[in-house]
Structure 1
Amino acid sequence: MTISINDYKALSQELDPDKLQTQILALLLKLQNVERGSLWIKRDGMYECVEALGDKSENIKGIRISPQEQSIVGWVIKHGKMTIAEAGDSRHFSSLEKNFKIKSKLILCFPLHLKGQEVYGAVQVIDTSTSGEQLNLDPAYLTMLQDMVDIGSISLRNSLEFQKQRREYDKLSRTLSSIRSSRTIVGKSQSVNKALKLVENYGVTNYPVLLYGESGTGKELFAEEIHAKSSRAQKPFLTQNCSAIPENLLESELFGYVKGAFTGAIANKSGLFEAADGGTVFLDEIGDMDINLQAKLLRVLQENEIKPLGGTQTKKIDIRIISATNRNLEEDVRSGRFREDLYYRLNVLPLKLPALRERKEDINLLTTHFLNREAAYSHMLPKRMSPEAMSIMVNYNWPGNIRELENMVKQFQAMVPGDTITERDIPQHIVHPEITPETTPQRLVTPSGHEKPAATQSDLGSMTWSEMEYSYVMTLLEKYRWNISRAAHAAGINRSTFDSRIKKLGISKRGQ
């Protein structure tokens, strides 16, 4: 029997090592008209059978033979050449067939070459016929078989290497996915260490926590860390921004609703509180919650129960509430805008987060962290800051806090052509913060990545609509220290609309 072109093609194209091992062995058995054979790989200092065909093959596959033991496979791997052996050969590892009813009569074994004389395994075919004359031992035929084995050997080694690279790639992909999905509290300043100490202490309790801090200081990140340190860590952590949606919609999002509660309520729907049962709910911008809804939230804290919108029955729940605000709630209590009883219920464990200007020693760490993270997002090497550029970054007050710094790093990653960020790459309002917009033309970084002077009334016509909108949104955000609600109010639109424009323009509103 001869080898066809399709046989060679099948051996050269298969990338799955398990399938290729079977193909090589099955083809050899077919060409030699026998039914038993095995394929061995040198692995971890042993000779391991990775494939076996024929009677009792399940007892052979997975067997490992030490190089110190006599075996035909070991001899072939050591000497790198084909051999023919009878059952009585001193090299035969006969104990392997101790419980076999049909034993080997004649064994033909080929080395698996990688490149040149390097041998990484062996493949053997076994004649079990009574006469032991099934194998074709014609020298020319054996040479042809060795050529076929050599081709299969290279293909098998390539497929094994491919699988190894694939596993490494999958591992790297999982690592990158973990980096992308995880957010880390970065900082070594005294104020951050103090806050982290309180996170540790608060984590072991079940009391409500109220996070204070300017917009962009990472309040949600600290809330996640408190949850992770608590006994509820394996339960849900769900977030709701209280200023992002209207009052009636916010109530249905938090409490759920029953069928028929309002137009469009065609089925019962669980709310955030019920979905988070056993876990933690983070209520961001709690100070913007409507006064009527505050009363319903108070009942959740007092009675641990909820009543869905339009429902008549209450449901018991077990949740921990962590809330956050950038408002002065004590002042809101005095003005009657925020319920005093709710304030004291929420403020059992207060945690004040420092502004970035109060932790300048962390700016270098944060900048490096964001540069590395954004490089991982983009599958690029991270850029580095020149000492002069980093000094400018540290000296700037960052009114938008960590969020503003994060956005600046994204601009660096997208727009700086080289691998080093220098003073020339930093916007002028950061380089010269002492110069107000009224005394010097501002520079605008447009969504398309071009830098140009901020518009005056005389040159508005030179800007595209997206450039003008980008400039307007950034101006409002910086003016109101990245308070989305106040910026939206100043723009004369509701917060959700303003928020959607931020996303469309590519301006990140994510915290640290």
Structure 2
Amino acid sequence: MNVLAFERDAIAVLWVDTDGWGAAAAKRCLGDCGYHVGEVESVTAALQAARSQRFDVAVVGLPRIDQHSLELLGRLHATAKSMRVLVVVDEATVATAVSAMKVGVSDVLVKPVGDGDLERVIQASAEDAKVSSCAADPPSGGASRAGRSSILGTSVAIGTVLQWIDRVAPSAMPVLIEGESGTGKELVAREIHAASRVADQPMVAINCAAVPASLLESELFGHEQGSFTGAIASKRGLFEMADGGTLFIDEFGELAGGLQAKLLRAIEDGRIRRVGATEERQVRVRLVAATNKTLSDEVRAGRFREDLFYRINVLGIRLPSLREHPEDIGLLVKHFLGDSWTLGEGVLKALQQYAWPGNVRQLCNALERSKVLAAQPGIIAIEDLPREIVTAGGEPPLEIGGNVDLETLNRVHVLKVLKQHRGNKAKTSRVLGINRRSLYRLLEKFGSKHGG
């Protein structure tokens, strides 16, 4: 066993050459790049080495992945949880690769592997390992993100999210953010980018649900001139636009099966191919994905690739819903309303008792609506809140919104909303929670010059 002693700050690689596959050139390349490489000839010996010394990455050469090797790989991962385990095999299937990831393997590479490709994967894994190894330490400078984040909240739930951002941001590994709609997934993605090593590079975002499925591949990977009807010129995709920075893919669970396979390749080796192109392009992109679905459920249902799920979920989190930290609602309300508005008696209690299926986004919209309908300038009273919030708090129902009682909409309220929307009756009726015919009836009743 040839295991080296080395300084703590160096990147340390444990080379496990079980089948004599060698790759001497790759090992020399690592040494030339300043890595420290310790070499053993079996996974059992690797277990002993990992117990006695600190390694960032273990590179394990195997002829194949079988049940015996899976057991050993799992033990190796458990011995040093911050160490990333890479496996290089003669052959592998999706099923065996997924099985390996389930026991803690970070990546599975199939021989032959180019020296440059191997070094790149080791580098990315080492960066992630160093993030994990200092996970219990305070962020850079010893300061908490609580005082410098755009994510508001003092609850334990939000504190956990902020700590997680500090831990994953410096890594180059993919990130998966799950959470209900309105929980702030894109805000978290932007915080990760801002705290990352590529914060000075672009962050490019796309919402898969907002792009037709037929155009999504072109948006992500680009296309060549004439590759399809309407492709009158070549176009860079978002991967190329985000090269060197971060690509944020929202509604990740909406990706079609064929596109999932192409995205997996882009994540694994950084190679993409424009639609209609014959040559691949190399990009270095930090991928952050978000979804309001539970992807593990989508995998079980056969709607999402299992291998892609395990590849993207290396550093994953599920954001808390607003009902899980109602103690933060007061702080959020103050932020959304500013200094010129206050809450009337019982309003904060009603807001905290409501379940908020639309989370923070719904809270913001409800406050904006209440400001428009407020009878007293600068004060939101209980009767100004949407009906469903008031009834959830056990208060008498207010007939505004849904099945509205038109008598409760006085002339001042209606004309104020109409003026704010510059006479647009469609927008006015939506804000008031009534249909357009009811709005015309009110305007006629009030004798407004805007009616008719």
TM-score under structure 1 length normalisation: 0.49
- Unaligned runs of 5+ residues in structure 1 are 1-181, 373-380, 454-463, 475-512
Tell me: CA distance 1:429–1:259, structure 2 relative to 1, closer, same or farther (3 Å). Answer: same
Give the C-alpha shift of residue 432 in structure 1. Answer: 1.2
Shift of 1:468: 7.1
CA distance in 2, matches of 1:465, 1:384: 29
2:352 is the counterpart of 1:394 = yes
Letter in 1 for 2:351: M
Q: In the superposition, relative to structure 1, how do residues 470 and 340 fare at CA in structure 2: closer, same or farther (>3 Å)?
A: farther
1:192-231 residue pairs with structure 2 within 5 A? 192-231=158-197
Secondary structure, counterpart of 2:176 in structure 1: strand
Going from structure 1 to structure 2, the CA distance change for 1:250 and 1:452 (only over 3 Å counts) comes to: farther
Instruction: Tell me what 1:410 maps to.
Output: 368
Shift of 1:342: 0.5
List per-residue Cα deviations over 1:21-42 (Å, max 9, x = no partner).
Answer: xxxxxxxxxxxxxxxxxxxxxx
The alpha-carbon deviation at position 465 of structure 1 amounts to 6.2
User: Residue 400 of structure 2 aligns to which amino acid in structure 1?
Assistant: R
Q: Shift of the alpha carbon at 1:424?
A: 2.0
Give 1:298 shift: 0.5
Q: For residues 20-71 of structure 1, what are the alpha-carbon distances to aligned partners after superposition, in whole Å with 9 as ceiling and x for unaligned? A: xxxxxxxxxxxxxxxxxxxxxxxxxxxxxxxxxxxxxxxxxxxxxxxxxxxx
CA distance in 2, matches of 1:308, 1:183: 37
Cα offset, 1:314, TM superposition: 0.6
Larger radius of gyration: 1
Distance 1:450 1:297, change over 3 A: farther
Contact kept in structure 1, 2:354 and 2:393, CA below 8 Å: no
Q: Aligned partner of 1:385: which letter?
A: L
In structure 2, the CA distance between the partners of 1:441 and 1:390, relative to structure 1 (3 Å rule), is: closer
CA–CA distance in structure 2, aligned partners of residues 368 and 465 of structure 1: 30
**Match in the other structure for 1:420:** 379
Contact 1:287 1:325 (8 Å CA) reproduced:
yes
Please give the alpha-carbon distance, in whole angstroms, between the structure 2 residues aligned to 1:257 and 1:358.
44
Structure 1 residue 409: deviation in Å?
1.6
Amino acid at match of 1:408: A
CA contact (8 A) 1:247 1:290 kept: yes
| Other-structure match for 2:226 | 260
- Which residue of structure 2 aligns with residue 361 of structure 1? 327
**Aligned-residue RMSD, C-alpha:** 3.0
The answer to whether the 8 A contact 1:386-1:421 is kept is: yes
Q: Partners of 1:467 and 1:296 in 2: how far apart?
A: 45
Task: Give the match's secondary structure for 2:392.
Answer: coil
| Code of the aligned partner of 1:404 | Q
Task: Label 1:469 to 1:388 Cα distance change in 2 as closer, same or farther (>3 A).
Answer: closer
Which residues of 2 match residues 326-475 of structure 1 at below 5 A?
326-372=292-338, 382-416=340-374, 417-433=376-392, 443-444=400-401
Identity of aligned residues (%): 41
The whole-number CA distance in structure 2 between the counterparts of 1:234 and 1:450 is 56
What is the aligned partner in structure 1 of residue 205 from structure 2? 239
For 1:469 and 1:350, how far apart are their aligned partners in 2? 38
Q: Which runs of 5+ in 2 are unaligned?
A: 1-147, 411-424, 436-452
Check 1:442–1:303 CA distance in 2 against 1; reply closer, same or farther (3 A cut).
farther
Note the C-alpha offset of 1:362: 0.3
| Closer/same/farther in 2, CA of residues 314 and 404 from structure 1, 3 Å limit | same
- Residues 333-354 of structure 1 deviation map (CA, whole Å, 9 limit, x = unaligned): 1121100010011100011110
Q: Secondary structure at the match of 1:366?
A: helix
Look up the SS of the partner of 1:350 in the other structure.
strand
User: Does the 8 Å contact 1:429/1:435 carry over to 2?
Assistant: no
Task: Assess, with a 3 A threshold, how the Cα gap between structure 1 residues 433 and 192 changes in structure 2: closer, same or farther.
Answer: same
CA distance in 1: counterparts of 2:335 and 2:346, whole angstroms: 18
Q: CA deviation at 1:445?
A: 8.0
Q: 1:358 to 1:254 in 2, by over 3 A?
A: same
Which one of 262, 281, 284 corresponds to residue 315 of structure 1?
281
CA spacing shift, 1:388–1:441, aligned 2, 3 Å: closer
Deviation at 1:414, TM superposition (A): 2.9
The residue that corresponds to 2:246 in the other structure is 280
Deviation at 1:412, TM superposition (A): 2.8
Distance 1:237 1:266 in 2: 27
Q: Which of the residues 188, 192, 196 maps onto 2:154?
A: 188
Query: Counterpart of 2:377 in 1: which secondary structure?
Result: coil
- The Cα offsets for residues 225-262 of structure 1, whole Å up to 9 and x where unpaired, read as 01111101011111111111122211111111100011
Deviation of 1:404 (Å) = 0.3
Could you state the TM-score of these two structures normalised by the residue count of structure 2?
0.56
Deviations 1:61-94 (A, max 9, x none): xxxxxxxxxxxxxxxxxxxxxxxxxxxxxxxxxx
Partners of 1:424 and 1:356 in 2: CA distance? 22
User: Residue 399 of structure 1 aligns to a residue in which SS?
Assistant: coil
Contact 1:429 1:442 in 2 (8 A): no
1:211 is aligned with what amino acid? Answer: I
1:214: Cα distance to partner?
Answer: 0.5
